[in-house]
Amino acid sequence: MIHRLAPPLLLAGCACAFAPLTMTTVEVKYSFRSVVDTKLLGEAGLRRIGAKPDLVLLQSIVGKTEDGKEVIGVVEPQTLRKGAKVEVQETMLVNKPQGWRVEESSMLPHLAITSGTALMAAGITQDTAPGKHCAVTGGNSPMAAFMMCLLAGWGASVIAVTNARKEACLKCGASTVVDFRADSFADEAKGSLDLVVDTLGRESKSSIAELKRALGAQYVSVMPEILKLAVDDGVIFGGGKIMAYRSALQGGNNHAFWLPDDGGASMGMVNAVAELSASSPHLQKWGAGAGGSTDMVSMQEYLEALAWPKDRDTGLRYGFPGRTSEYWMEPSAEEVEVEDEQVAVAYRQQPTLLQQFSGAGAGATAGGAAQAAKGGKKGASSKPIGGGIKEVASAADLAAATHEDKAILFVSSGSCRVCKYLGTWYRKLEPQFEDIEFLHMDAQSDPQLVGRQLGLNAVPSFVAFKGGKMLATVTSSDKTKIEELVQKLA
């Protein structure tokens, strides 16, 4: 059976006449669909069908023409099984690069058009890229890996800013790999950077301006909208959004969709990358599977975005230059006043930590300790504070330390420079309150406890406990506010 596609729909109010289309029959070997960002790509190719304009789909295929040529094409959303035959407009076809797997080949239209459009907006093209210094955030998604390969193939020097495996990023063309949990990419750039391509976030206008001022870098974001929504929802609810998105992506064909509709420029980007792969070892490796994940938005990418530490005072991810200090070094002697967020927790309604973690029997607390033992990640771990401060590494530790009397918990991260500064002050504060147990916890030691049970999403944070129950939480570096929290227990 040959699937015949309807000609492109006329936009409202357009009386344009279309030239006859030249169609080619393709036998499908693999089909792939993804969601595109029309704000980035423009709406010239946007088509609306049915009643679900929430997702704008791009569907591509990999297959063979009747003369045996392997091709990649873009089609309207439809269910296509292996072996199906479909008629595709010739202008929507490019030759499949030799040696590429069908999975990577099917993603090429989305990746090439999206990355090419974003890079051109920043003034980076194949002609201007040689010698440029570029940072790419993320390493657990096809877009991040492809962007590294493309920039390296164009002759740029690439810094990968990610918690992904270093070896995988080096295969994709990165010359340097920075773990954002431990090091600053701004420091690694040594004050000079031409471009930051962000697959894990979307910085504000003021942050982009500061990046330009401090490093001279242009900034573009290719973060998928669904990933942004999931990250904004946090660790508890965001994962559900990712799962719902994946289900909606595969279910039904009555969503809005996007076709290249710009005189061939978009498919020209796809063809240019396909041709470049013949001379680019990095693109050849990517096409052979070196990029890893073939999920355009995955749980792994979502968790990577959540793992990037944020500074409470600037609100920025670690490495992005902020107003508190040039590159997030220790604050000056004169503390910067920051807006404080204090969240009161209903004392009587809050179950004790012992109830939360030992209610299911001995296995619950043991499981918490086991999670802490294997959950600690390489990179941004904070050192013990010392003095009279008791270190906490798991839910079991915290329950044992807080169930009887008064306690204050300082949650920090090794990648938070302000946390290091506060650690010394916190140690000096402890002797002034003999009836309060002073505790410290590295946020990386048990992320589940910190994020889900304590409800924290930034450091430095301080949590007051009384009789095993959470009394109040302060997320701030303002010593006055922290002292007020301690005084509530005194």
pLDDT tens-digit readout, 59-89: 999 999 999 999 999 999 888 999 999 999 9
| Candidates 3.40.50.300, 3.10.20.30, 3.30.9.10, 3.40.50.720; CATH matching 2-307 | 3.40.50.720
Residues of the chain with pLDDT under 50: 1, 3-18, 324-380
Secondary-structure breakdown of the chain: helix, strand, coil percentages, each rounded to the nearest 5: 35, 20, 40
Q: Where in the chain is the domain with CATH 3.40.50.720?
A: 2-307
User: Which residues lie below 8 Å from residue 204, measured CB to CB, with a gap of 6+?
Assistant: none
Residue 281 has phi, psi (to 5 degrees) of -60, -30
How many CB atoms lie under 10 A from the CB of residue 128?
16
pLDDT at 236: 65
Closest C-alpha to 314, from 217, 385, 198, 214: 214
The chain-wide mean pLDDT, for the chain, equals: 80
pTM: 0.65
Per CATH, the architecture of 341-489 is what?
3-Layer(aba) Sandwich (3.40)
Closest C-alpha to 318, from 377, 375, 380, 376: 380
Q: Where in the chain is the domain with CATH 3.40.30.10?
A: 341-489
pLDDT at 275: 95
pLDDT at 64: 97
Task: Give, as one character, the DSSP assignment of residue 289.
Answer: I
